[in-house]
Chains A and B, each alone.
Chain A
Amino acid sequence: EVQLVESGGDLVQPGGSLSLSCTASGFAPSNLWMSWVRQAPGKGLEWVAHVSPDGSKKYYVDSMKGRFTISRDSAKNSVFLQMNSLRAEDTALYYCVAWGAGTYWGQGSLVTVSS
């Protein structure tokens, strides 16, 4: 079964840091672009970051540039999102997404930024 499983979501104070992980099973995403997309509670979908299959190209939405870092480890079928200087408006469910012939989404990892 094709699966993407995110982990690492937590409650963190404003200004804090958090690292999310996403591990694929049932397929090898090494040839696929991988992304993080987030959804604030009751809101729509928002791109966060995007990484090429070889990890050499990375794209970020402006509001997250300099604060978030996407990376991947193809040997571990994993993608990561390091989030620093977190703000209340970063509170959201963070989805890991693999873009191939099909598009695979994880179930999401909840990040709550609050004091």
Chain B
Amino acid sequence: DVVMTQSPLSLPVTLGQSASISCRSSQSLVHSDGDTHLYWFQQRPGQSPRRLFYKVSIRDSGVPDRFSGSGSGTDFTLKISRVEAEDVGVYYCMQATHWPHTFGPGTKLEIK
């Protein structure tokens, strides 16, 4: 199975500052269809997960442009500029290139 790792696992951030989460996969996530099926999800406390990005960097509808996704191959990054209180939660990367699809362990973002 493809192992997804994230760092850091805990991310205390001051309001208004930026935050960055790294996600690495144990295998290349480039699919035979040419796309890279790497997703980012946000799970706010007590809520179901919500997709933020698909195919590495395509932002979902309603996601603020303070959020950006980047990367390729096995190395990916989620960046949040100007962190707001509503950004508190756990962020997961997930690969859907290889079965079984696998999630990273999650990064818990909190406000300092």
Contacts and interface: CB of A to CB of B under 8 A. Distances in A.
Given A61-B100, A105-B49, A105-B50, A45 B60 contact: no
Interface residues of B, number: 22
Contacts of B48: 95, 105-108
- Interface bracket on A: 10 to 19
B56 to A, nearest CB: 15
Contacts of B82: none
Interface of A: 44-47, 50, 59-62, 95, 102-103, 105-108
Contacts of B49: 45, 95, 105
Interface of B: 1, 39, 41, 43, 48-51, 54, 60-61, 90, 92, 94, 99-106
The A interface is mostly helix, strand or loop, or mixed, namely: strand
A45 B61 contact: no
Contacts of B43: 45
Given A103-B51, A108-B48, A44 B106 contact: yes
